[in-house]
Structure 1
Amino acid sequence: MSENELSLRTDSAFEIQTADLSTDLPSLDDAKELPIDLCGNYWTPKHVGEFKKMFFVDIKPQKVLSATNPDELIDLECATFLEKLGNGTVQTVTNGSRRLVGILEQYIANGSLKSGTALKITYMGKRDNKTNRYQSDNWSVRPLRINLSVVG
């Protein structure tokens, strides 16, 4: 690879260009902004029935503030998605609900859920735990069939 060539790296479900930082950097004057915002938006639904249609990316630990000790950072397994907004931009969306992550993990394990799968995720409200000590979020997760044919 020459000094001025850019390489491609796969990062989750989309490819991001990278430059070799040990050589002369290429100009960014004519660089095109991709229609994706890498700043993750943590989705905390407020109303029963609230839903999002998104593409599943992966599940991985993320550093978040502890619910019991706000001065402590903990690793929380979070599901990451890509959501296409009405203006055409794409944003990352994360959610660390133990119940939602658990549902997704079982389908990853059996091979039914892969990065790039389109899903409709609906918040179904709170549900009592078996111990009745607290309530957990309840979810509906439905795969979506998308039309990939070109209209023209």
Structure 2
Amino acid sequence: MADLPPISDGRQSATALRVQRGVMRLLRETYDFACFAEVPLPHGRRADVLGVGPKGEIWIVEIKSSLIDFQTDKKWHLYRDYSDRFFFAKPPELDGAIFPQSEGLIVADGHDGAVLRDSPDTPLTGARRKALMLKLARLGADRIHALMDPGPQ
């Protein structure tokens, strides 16, 4: 089995991990999405949270845990090419005014989340959706396999 990208690689702050939990709970409980964390995308970036909805819609959520985290990320716009909807997610204490009005915005903590601003719908092409769905199916199965069989002891 190929090396799997880690679900958490130690780069995530405690705040980012709390926001991730709240975002994933929101997407699962409110929108019936299946969620993946730390999904590698073809351009080399990783989506913090990628959710797949009941009709095959794909949302990407980019977590920003602080002002400096947002200010230093100049590549977030690349996620739009791999999602039908794109959201930023922030902890409650971070000012939402720093985020572009053109993008969706979620507030979340370790317990739950809420959509503060919806994202524009920018549907993926059929070919890109199919390729991404195949990648997600394999990633999910590989992660489960790694949990069930961690390898030689």
TM-score range normalised by the length of the shorter chain: under 0.3
Higher strand proportion: 1
Higher helix proportion: 2
Higher gyration radius (CA): 1
